[in-house]
Structure 1
Amino acid sequence: RLVQGTNRCSGRLEVKTNQSWSSVCEKDFDLQDAKVVCREIGCGPPSVHQGALYGEAEAPVGSREFVCEGSESALLNCSSRKSSGRNSCSPGQAVGLTCSDNFRLVGEASRCAGRLEMKRQEEWRPVDVSYYNWNMNSAAAVCAELDCGSAVSARKSKEDSERPVWGIFSDCFQSGSALKNCVPHDINSDKSHELICSGTVGFTSPLML
């Protein structure tokens, strides 16, 4: 898991083994390991990994060095070996990790409000969701996945002209479905979706579905 980050794809790395959580020492972790972690939690490739990025570790620091090839589906599937150093990490050396996210809300002051966009093939575009079954439960699934709490309001907006967007079927946004599994198709549309999640600060005017 990533803890104390700014969104679901960032934070200090902790690994659960034998029912307890431990941090990972920066010297025992490299870019290949980071790729595996980001993939496992449903985020895009790592952009930053460094010690003390998200505060000092509260959990004990593990003594294992992970040796990933980068293609594994989970960090605990990687080979590991006892760390070459001491069983403790110097202060500020627990791994902090920032992965890229493939969904975001843009256009407002808060990251938890705005137009829904998706990144695919290195390109951010607005999302046009098939309106069938798109409801507040769908919006709630998006807010939860973005670590923005619950859905306060949602609406489908219409632009003056069509532009390239990512089209997604609404069943991808049902509660319990990971957004990373959404497979978009390339369309031209004048529609997009705007959300306000409960993690937003400073909004008082709700948008209606």
Structure 2
Amino acid sequence: MALLFFLILAFCTGPALLESSARVRLVRGPHRCEGRVEVERNGQWGTVCDDGWDMNDVDVVCRELGCGAALKTPSGNLYKPLAEEDQKVLIQWVNCSGMENELTECEQVEDVFDCTHKEDAGAMCEKSPPRVRLVGGRHHCEGRVEVERNGQWGTVCNNGWDKKGAHVVCRELGCGAAVGTPSGNLYKPLAEDQKVLIQWVNCNGMENELTECEQVEDGFDCPHKEDAGVMCVLPETVRLFGGPGRCKGRVEVKHQGQWGTVCKAGWNLSAAKVVCRQLGCGKAILTKRCCNRDTQGKNFIWLSEVSCSGEEESLQDCPSALWGENNCTHADDMWVECEDPFDLRLVEGDTLCSGRLEVLHKGEWGSVCDDGWGKKEEQVVCKQLGCGKSTFLSSKARKKFVPGVGRIWLDDVRCSGKEQSLEHCQHRFWGHHNCNHKEDVAVNCSEQSSGLLHVSPDPLRP
């Protein structure tokens, strides 16, 4: 009878017990494996007091989140914005052995009696590598979709593949919004020796990882000519600022919405290689300490003690000191120069700052179609060339420029006006258009603005 009563009690209270089970997350960090620790109780998220908080506890959090090794126990107050005053501190004290799989398995005191948000706990884990990648594109946010299964990389069939799946891939890779689902065959070399690992995918677009989507593995009747591709916006988390073009300048990184510089401490050519790769530029050709008083940074110094192997996809993947923690001055800011595989120029004009717009892609110059072209697009071009403000030309005024010949590289270009390079604006896939050379874009900028005018050499013209 006692056993029957216990079973009835367990059955009746089961949902409430499940409801009170904890979950954990790290918020306001640079990625999901670093940040202020928050736990969930009955649908409410709250913080954890740092009483007793140590590396054993961080080990457990990192394991529960599927992240890499525990690295540090930073204060939760390093991650801005801070917790709201009305958000509760849900755990006063935690004591883990470090072997538990979830934080709920550790000893803890939930009655919070004397802990404020000034004592919120934080955790820093190694960022877990994504199990999806984009290959063959201009940068890590564009290319043929490949997934990893048991250490083997293979492709994804485009059966059911759509913008929702592309959004998930872009999110998992830390890229910007999905802007296209091109055929994977556009990216060379082709994946001839690889397996097709996923036959069909159906995402709702809100998943954080591709593995969360419905899918059928084993591509039993899908050849590589049906490989899926994705094009995402390359997010601006690193830039080379103040130089002649987007691939040369002072190294700056964005953190908590603010741009700041990188200190020379620990910096080397391997770190410069990572920056060049992340920006979609060519190989690193120079790195040095920057700058004079007029060109050095003014505000935050975000990173120091950066230690890259040179193989990382982004500078944020390299180990470093905590954001903002350093003994540097702006005299220690770093400068990097990369080869630029993308270039642009104005030709057939009266000055270096006016003429028909041409872009360099795969070593060949071509024109830009005027479908959708406007003031914001012209503003980006003038800024990239180091010219002054754009003086937007009417259709009639553009006709005075001689039409181009050969390639039309870009069509349906859409810029916000804030991009550092025309390459960062949305556009159709390279070479895809419905235009003729009568629709070539011409640009007129007011003047050279800063002494940094970028003139592209033309091997085909004397």
* Band the TM-score falls in, shorter-chain normalisation: 0.5 to 0.7
Cα gap change, 1:173 to 1:157, in 2 (>3 Å) = farther
Structure 1, unaligned runs of 5 or more: 203-209
Contact between 1:8 and 1:146, CA under 8 Å: does it hold in 2? no
Structure 2 match to 1:63: 199
Q: 2:286 aligns with which of 153, 159, 168?
A: 153
Q: Deviations over 1:48-103 (max 9, x none)?
A: 2333498278448742214374234xx3x3243349xxx559x8983322143322
Cα gap change, 1:28 to 1:35, in 2 (>3 Å) = closer
1:38-49 equivalent positions in 2, closer than 5 A:
38-41=170-173, 43-49=174-180
Structure 2 match to 1:14: 146
1:128-207 equivalent positions in 2, closer than 5 A:
128-129=262-263, 131-146=264-279, 148=281, 150-155=283-288, 156-160=290-294, 163-173=298-308, 175=310, 178-181=314-317, 184-185=323-324, 190-191=330-331, 192-198=333-339
Q: Offset of 1:195 from its aligned partner?
A: 0.8
For 1:11 and 1:166, how far apart are their aligned partners in 2?
Answer: 33
RMSD of aligned alpha carbons: 4.4
Q: Deviations over 1:152-207 (max 9, x none)?
A: 211222343763335102235454565234663399x64543211356689xxxxx
Q: 2:182 aligns with which of 32, 47, 51?
A: 51
Report the AA paired with residue 96 of structure 1: V
For 1:5 and 1:45, how far apart are their aligned partners in 2?
Answer: 15
Contact between 1:51 and 1:92, CA under 8 Å: does it hold in 2? no
Structure 2 match to 1:25: 158
Report the AA paired with residue 291 of structure 2: S
Q: Offset of 1:17 from its aligned partner?
A: 4.6
For 2:255 and 2:159, how far apart are their aligned partners in 1?
Answer: 30
Structure 2, unaligned runs of 5 or more: 1-132, 344-462
Overall identity of the aligned pairs, in %:
24
For 1:26 and 1:97, how far apart are their aligned partners in 2?
Answer: 17
When normalised by structure 2's length, the TM-score is 0.33
SS of the residue 1:28 aligns to: coil
Contact between 1:153 and 1:197, CA under 8 Å: does it hold in 2? yes
Greater strand percent: which structure? Answer: 1
1:87-106 equivalent positions in 2, closer than 5 A:
94-101=228-235, 102-106=237-241
Report the AA paired with residue 120 of structure 1: H
Contact between 2:147 and 2:154, CA under 8 Å: does it hold in 1? yes
Report the AA paired with residue 138 of structure 1: A
Structure possessing the higher radius of gyration over alpha carbons: 2
Cα gap change, 1:138 to 1:100, in 2 (>3 Å) = closer
Report the AA paired with residue 134 of structure 2: L
Cα gap change, 1:163 to 1:8, in 2 (>3 Å) = same
For 2:298 and 2:241, how far apart are their aligned partners in 1?
Answer: 17
For 2:291 and 2:342, how far apart are their aligned partners in 1?
Answer: 22
Report the AA paired with residue 134 of structure 1: W
Greater helix percent: which structure? Answer: 2
When normalised by structure 1's length, the TM-score is 0.63
Contact between 1:23 and 1:59, CA under 8 Å: does it hold in 2? no
Kindly indicate whether structure 1 or structure 2 has the higher relative contact order, using CA contacts under 8 Å at least 6 residues apart: 1
